[in-house]
Amino acid sequence: EMLRSLVGSEMCIRDRPQRASSTNEAPNLIVGDKNMNTAPAPNATLLKLIWSEIYAQGCDVNNVFSRYFHDDYTQCINGEVMNRAEYYAHVVAQHKTMQINHIDYKYILEDNNELFALYYPRGVNQHGDTVLAEVLVYCQFLGAKLIHIHGQVRLIEGQPADADMKG
């Protein structure tokens, strides 16, 4: 189900205009914390930084959004589309109902301004119950900011009300 939902993203990659490149480097594959290539993976590093800051206790959400989210940011998670303002409100509300303590990144595949990531955020809800989710996303960056995310979130452990997104 998760892979089917990303068909649109795959088609975007497949159908995009070919970029002019002076090299034929393969995309960066990161397994856990190990970069399988020698080339740097700046957007993988940036994605991890964004989530570590946005889920930090006492996070200044406004500051994180101004630094890392493009003004034209949009996302589609489990079929629910949000613009930047809607996602901002979602993050503020999420801070009141749960705390993410750790994110286990399994795989990240980065190619220029695009990346796919599979990761597992773990935390607790407002009642102290464990929440664990599986997240599969396609991300686009413009400069050093996120401009688009498309993906699926599946709740592995926790209550349905703990689900980050509908679906």
- Contact call for residues 22 and 167 (beta carbons, < 8 A): no
Select from 58, 28, 25 the least CA-distant residue to 43. 28
Note the pTM of the prediction, 2 decimals. 0.80
- Which pLDDT tens digit goes with each residue over 69-91? 999 999 999 999 999 999 999 99
- In our burial notation (b when 16+ CB lie closer than 10 A, e otherwise), range 91-115 reads beebbeebebeebebeebbbbeebb
125-156 pLDDT, tens digit per residue, is 999 999 999 999 999 999 999 999 999 999 99
For the chain, where are the E strands, in sequence order? 28-31, 34-35, 69-77, 80-83, 98-111, 114-125, 130-142, 145-157
